[in-house]
């Protein structure tokens, strides 16, 4: 990599504000990194290229985030050299970057500068490979912290008192997603397992928990159920009719786990229904109204609480969540 002019690249990153040129520089750095791998350059050289690429990504992300602020101030979007446009997608098209890719650059730009610099320095000092994935994970942690802070500020505190019928739909974190458009992170900010487990659930001494979980999250869901003081009893299956993603099976169902705390009686035999219910899924994370009605029918005198609620089913339910 002797022909690479490192000082010139560093200067371009520091001083260049032309997004087209920055995007072109980023593409060159991607090619350099691939060449460095093929020619088995040292980890130090590969990390140097990766660092410059990350700095370009961060600058492009900052530019894209700036478009939101500009549009908020003026109601339109204009830029020297690009003309007047009506959406961020128009800008991305001009510099040959897809919206999903730019979303990742925005995420990298959202990492506090101090954390960003520490991550780069630590990774290089530990002689590990520097990748965009590592910084992206930092961004997700930052997003999660922001989410939980917003949850505490925007949502009322977890209701006081004790509830004996609790429904929860945690925002599980997924490590992989086959497409950016279907990535869980694109729908709502996820929370890691330990954060979910630490939530203090106001459950009565004798109570029941209905906990939503996808098939890949079954083991984690049971650990949450136990951390909240419940013992697993059984589960129901929601057949969503539409086939989704998956590495082993393409998921078409979701699980509703049931856990019991203390002594809580099962519903009357006459009220019990099949463990499988079929209803076509609609928008992301929205669950069928059927299950709210089922729970109310099972336990008509229950004191109901929904955690991570995205909408209020009816006035019978106390709710806690950031989106309501």
Residues 202 and 99 grouped into a single domain: no
pLDDT of residue 191: 80
- Which CATH number covers residue 223? 3.40.50.150
Instruction: Report d(CA 298, CA 280) in Å as an integer.
Output: 23
Residues 138 and 30 grouped into a single domain: yes
Residue ending a domain, choose from 146, 170, 190: 146
Please check whether residue 161 lies inside any domain of the structure.
yes
* The token pair that represents 59 in the structure block: 């600058």
Residues 103 and 162 grouped into a single domain: no
Residues 175 and 286 grouped into a single domain: yes
pLDDT in tens, 226-241: 999 999 999 999 999 9
Average pLDDT over residues 42-62: 91
Is residue 291 scored above 50 in pLDDT? yes
* The token pair that represents 28 in the structure block: 């060159």
pLDDT of residue 304: 97
How much is the mean pLDDT over the chain?
Answer: 83
What are the Cα distances from residue 100, in Å, to 31, 47, 88, 113, 196?
20, 24, 12, 23, 27
Residue ending a domain, choose from 100, 119, 146: 146
Please check whether residue 134 lies inside any domain of the structure.
yes
Instruction: Report d(CA 281, CA 287) in Å as an integer.
Output: 8
Residues 136 and 190 grouped into a single domain: no
Please check whether residue 151 lies inside any domain of the structure.
no
Is residue 160 scored above 50 in pLDDT? yes
Residues 134 and 16 grouped into a single domain: yes
Domain limits for position 43: 6-146
CB atoms within 10 A of CB 230: 24
Please check whether residue 1 lies inside any domain of the structure.
no
pLDDT in tens, 237-253: 999 998 888 888 999 99
pLDDT-derived band at 84 (thresholds 50, 70, 90) equals: low
Q: To 10 degrees, what angle do helices 43-74 and 19-38 make?
A: 160
Residues 176 and 305 grouped into a single domain: yes
Residues 163 and 130 grouped into a single domain: no
Instruction: Report d(CA 164, CA 261) in Å as an integer.
Output: 9
Please check whether residue 200 lies inside any domain of the structure.
yes
pLDDT of residue 80: 45
pLDDT of residue 293: 95
Q: How many domains does the chain have?
A: 2
Please check whether residue 152 lies inside any domain of the structure.
no
Residue ending a domain, choose from 121, 146, 171: 146
Average pLDDT over residues 273-299: 91
Is residue 198 scored above 80 in pLDDT? yes
Instruction: Report d(CA 294, CA 167) in Å as an integer.
Output: 12
pLDDT in tens, 24-46: 898 899 898 899 999 999 999 99
Nearest Cα to 154, choosing from 303, 314, 319, 283?
319
């Amino acid at each position: 990599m002797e022909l690479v002019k490192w000082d010139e690249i560093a200067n371009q990153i520091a001083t260049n504000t032309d997004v087209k040129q920055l995007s072109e520089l980023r593409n060159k750095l991607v090619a350099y990194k691939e060449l460095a791998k093929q020619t088995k350059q040292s980890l130090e050289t590969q990390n140097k290229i990766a660092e410059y690429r990350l700095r370009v990504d961060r600058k492009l992300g900052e530019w894209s985030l700036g478009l939101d602020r500009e549009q908020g101030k003026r109601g339109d979007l204009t830029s020297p050299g690009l003309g007047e446009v009506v959406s961020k997608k128009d800008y991305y098209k001009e510099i040959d970057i897809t919206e999903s890719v730019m979303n990742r650059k925005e995420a990298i730009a959202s990492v506090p500068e101090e954390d960003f610099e520490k991550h780069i320095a630590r990774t290089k000092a530990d002689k590990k490979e520097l990748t965009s994935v590592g910084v992206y994970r930092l961004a997700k942690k930052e997003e999660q912290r922001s989410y939980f802070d917003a949850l505490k500020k925007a949502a009322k505190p977890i209701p006081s008192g004790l509830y004996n019928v609790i429904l929860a739909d945690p925002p599980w974190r997924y490590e992989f997603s086959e497409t950016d458009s279907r990535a869980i992170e694109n729908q709502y900010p996820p929370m890691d397992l330990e954060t979910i487990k630490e939530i203090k659930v106001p459950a009565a001494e004798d109570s029941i928990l209905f906990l939503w979980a996808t098939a890949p999250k079954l083991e984690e869901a049971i650990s949450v159920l136990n951390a909240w003081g419940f013992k697993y009893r059984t589960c129901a299956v929601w057949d969503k009719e539409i086939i989704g993603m998956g590495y082993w099976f393409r998921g078409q169902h979701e699980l509703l786990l049931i856990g019991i705390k203390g002594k809580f009686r099962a519903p009357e035999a006459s009220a019990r229904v099949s463990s499988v219910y079929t209803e076509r899924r609609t928008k992301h994370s929205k669950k069928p109204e059927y299950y709210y009605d089922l729970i109310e029918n099972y336990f008509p005198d229950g004191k109901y609480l929904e955690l991570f609620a995205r909408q209020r089913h009816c006035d019978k339910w106390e709710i806690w969540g950031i989106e309501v």
